[in-house]
Amino acid sequence: MAVKPASGADVSVAVAAGDVVPPPRKKAGGKSRRRLTLIGLQALAVLVILALWQVLSGRVIATFLISDPVDVVKKLVGIIQTATMWTDISVTAQELVVGYAIGVAGGAVVGWALGMYRLSGSVFEPIINAVNGIPKIALAPVFLLWFGLGIWSKVAQASMIVFFVMFYNVYMGMRNAPEPLVNVVSVIGGSRIYILRKVIFPSLAVPIFAGLKAGVPFAMIGVIVGEFVAADKGVGYYALEATQQYDAAGLFASLVIMVVMVLIGLAIVNIFQRRALRWQQG
Amino acid sequence: MLSRGTVRNADAAQPAAGGTGALEVRNVSHSFRTPAGETMDALQDVSLTVRENEFFTVVGPSGCGKSTLLNIAVGLISPDSGSVRVGTDSGPAAARPTIGYITQDSSLLPWCTVLENIMIGLEVRKVPKAERRRRASEWARTVGLAGFEKHYPRQLSGGMQKRCSIARTMVYDPDIVFMDEPFSALDAITRAVIQKAFLELCEASPKTIIFITHDLTEAIALSDRVAVMSGRPGRIKAIVDVPFGRPRDVYHVTQLDGFDELHERLWSLLDVDLANGAAGGPDSR
């Protein structure tokens, strides 16, 4: 049984020596060493795959189909020094950010509202389920028709996909509102507003961040699909062009750029999550 | 129906029975609709009066409607029929009794620190921030959580969480505290320690306690009177006085003269229903 720190000698009325205190968090070196080993193994696995790719290319599979890692890196270094690629990246980034923002905001608000008001939930949930049944990619031509060749057809496509991801997370979170906590705080004397602020919203943080995280790669899917259908700028447009010119290295280089963009987005969400969900750690 | 119980701390300064600390439940009946669409009677014509500063315990088999009764008393459920009067409900708002509510799982807000959790009751009462902090820290110390003020609930053991929830309730000094099997999830040692600590708190600052448990020893150790409920639909079968004085030695209550007889009596009041299969059957919730 662990010894309680600090208040050991305190003899105030209710000091109890009986129950177990969780052990202090370990900051031992063993853990970080194990982590280093893990990172080393992961790097090794990636290297093996890349080496395999390099060896197979041109020997087993034609180079124009799969390129090879060295070529892809060369191409990547080449294209990110061109102004057109940076235009492509900034267009895709704009579409991604705006589409993502509209999608998560809409999904969160609608999810909250339908969860908050039972009747509206019962009315609209089946409708939203039905709309969600549409393969969103099939809407790309419609968005093109409505919003034109520019960024807005891609924004619409991305936000359409992200909306549903966010909606279901928040809606389910509202449905699973922590009733015992709501009860206790209301008996203590908390008003409706207080309960909303202090109990409901914080309880939604977990599903909201789940939605925010899942939303990033989904937003990228929407943007790239939009650019595939019709565009004259963007990383997806570049990928399509490269493919049509049998430039496998260019295609893979643009994929690397997309992955990096998604990872940057996830890293930003992670920073906020670490702050908001501090209570979950440790 | 009501026999005289030991009213603790009935000093002259306290208002007479029927003051802010008393509870009166009159002819309360309540039923639920099951998912299958049937009506299930949870409570049938339950009446009881709890005196000010009395430690009143309700025992009964699981599924007998004890928790329903408590939820009606704290106002989370409105009963199908009957009435509940807490203190002097009719008076001006300021004179109405404040109530506390301690549940089986501690129901701490997981995203708030120990100190923030303890401050909730003061925050909703608009106590100034500095005073909130001071009083909450004081209570953290009182329940033995000094040094843990900035911890989150999940970093605490079950016993510490329970003590935090006790501090969260006591900090705003409620007149009546409703407790729904508050200690039943704790291990035996922790439970005894916390029972003792809680009784000491009640002795230091007298309160009306409505306590629900299915543990007869706990009921005897803590209470002034014990109401025994029957299985579904829940009815009050008997209200039994606990003749032991205070302060009470929780750790050795089973060795007190008359403990065995009292335990036996409560048990036999419950037992009839166990034999009838009303408790713990496959259909009980």
Can you give A92-151 as a three-state secondary structure string? HHHHHHHHHHHHHHHHHHHHHHHHHCHHHHHHHHHHHHHHHCCCHHHHHHHHHHHHCCCH
- Please give the DSSP secondary-structure letter assigned to residue A81: T
Q: Which of A20, A183, A184, A277 to mutate to test the interface with B (most CBs of B within 10 A)?
A: A184
A135 and A50 inside one domain: no
Please say whether the beta carbons of B219 and B266 come within 8 A. Answer: yes
Residue B95 has pLDDT above 90, yes or no: no
Q: DSSP alpha helices (H): ranges in chain A?
A: 29-56, 63-66, 69-79, 83-116, 118-132, 140-147, 151-175, 179-188, 192-195, 201-229, 235-244, 248-276
Strand partners, B26: B83
Domains: count for chain B = 2
- Please give the DSSP secondary-structure letter assigned to residue A57: B
Helix A151-175 and helix A118-132: axis angle, to 10°?
130
Kindly report the number of other CB atoms within 10 A of residue B223's CB atom: 25
A71 and A115 inside one domain: yes
B179 and B71 inside one domain: yes
B80 and B109 inside one domain: no
Backbone torsion region of residue B227, taken as left when φ is above 0, otherwise alpha when ψ lies between -120 and 50, otherwise beta: beta
Does residue A253 sit within a domain?
A: yes
Tokens 């690397």, located at residue: A256
B270 and B153 inside one domain: no
Distance separating alpha carbons of residues A52 and B25, to the nearest angstrom? 79
- Please name the amino acid found at residue A153: S
With b for 16 or more beta-carbon neighbours within 10 A and e for fewer, the A36-59 pattern comes to eeeeeeeeeeeeeeeeebeeebee
Burial of A266 (0-12, 13-18, 19+ CB in 10 A): middle
CB contacts, 8 Å: A7 with chain B = 141, 144-147
pLDDT digits (tens, 9 = 90+) for A149-174: 999 999 999 999 999 999 999 999 98
Q: Which of B174, B202, B236 is the last residue of a domain?
A: B174
B214 and B165 inside one domain: no
Q: Which band of pLDDT confidence, cut at 50, 70 and 90, is reported for residue B184? A: confident
Does residue A145 sit within a domain?
A: yes
pLDDT digits (tens, 9 = 90+) for B213-222: 988 989 988 8
Distance separating alpha carbons of residues A122 and A135, to the nearest angstrom? 23
Q: Which domain holds residue B117?
A: 103-174
Q: What percent of chain A has pLDDT over 90?
A: 67
Q: Are A10 and B111 within 8 A, CB to CB? A: no
- Please give the DSSP secondary-structure letter assigned to residue B98: P
Does residue A85 sit within a domain?
A: yes
- The CATH number covering residue B251 comes to 3.40.50.300
A52 and A156 inside one domain: no
Q: Which of A12, A13, A21, A182 to mutate to test the interface with B (most CBs of B within 10 A)?
A: A13
B141 touches chain A (CB under 8 A): yes
Distance separating alpha carbons of residues B127 and B134, to the nearest angstrom? 11
- Please give the DSSP secondary-structure letter assigned to residue A24: P
Helix, strand or coil for residue B234? strand
B100 touches chain A (CB under 8 A): yes
B59 and B125 inside one domain: no
Does residue A5 sit within a domain?
A: no
Q: Are A18 and B190 within 8 A, CB to CB? A: yes
What radius of gyration, in Å, describes the C-alpha atoms of chain B? 19
CB contacts, 8 Å: A2 with chain B = none
Strands across the sheet with B23-33, in order? B39-50, B23-33, B81-86
CB contacts, 8 Å: B141 with chain A = 7, 10, 12
Please say whether the beta carbons of B28 and B47 come within 8 A. Answer: yes
Of all residues in chain A, the one with the smallest CA distance to B197 is A14
A79 and A55 inside one domain: no
pTM for the full model? Answer: 0.74
Residue B282 has pLDDT above 60, yes or no: no
From A35-44, A105-114, B56-65, the region with the lowest mean pLDDT: B56-65
B82 and B126 inside one domain: no
Distance separating alpha carbons of residues B25 and B78, to the nearest angstrom? 12
C-alpha B34 chain-centroid distance: 27
A48 and A188 inside one domain: no
pLDDT digits (tens, 9 = 90+) for A217-249: 999 999 999 999 999 999 999 999 999 999 999
Residue A108 has pLDDT above 70, yes or no: yes
pLDDT digits (tens, 9 = 90+) for B107-121: 999 999 999 999 999
Of all residues in chain A, the one with the smallest CA distance to B178 is A187
* Average pLDDT along chain A: 87
Q: Choose among B108, B117, B99, B59: nearest CA to B273.
A: B59
CB contacts, 8 Å: B160 with chain A = 19, 21
Residue A15 has pLDDT above 80, yes or no: no
From A33-47, A100-114, B17-31, the region with the lowest mean pLDDT: B17-31
Of all residues in chain A, the one with the smallest CA distance to B196 is A14
Of all residues in chain A, the one with the smallest CA distance to B150 is A279
- Please give the DSSP secondary-structure letter assigned to residue A80: T
Closest approach of A231 to chain B, Cα-based (Å): 46
Q: Which domain holds residue A48?
A: 30-61
Q: Which of B67, B102, B112, B124 to mutate to test the interface with A (most CBs of A within 10 A)?
A: B124
Q: What percent of chain A has pLDDT over 70?
A: 89
Residues of A at the B interface (Cβ-Cβ below 8 Å)? 4-7, 10, 12-22, 180-181, 183-191, 194, 198-199, 202-203, 205, 278-280, 282
Q: What percent of chain B has pLDDT over 70?
A: 84
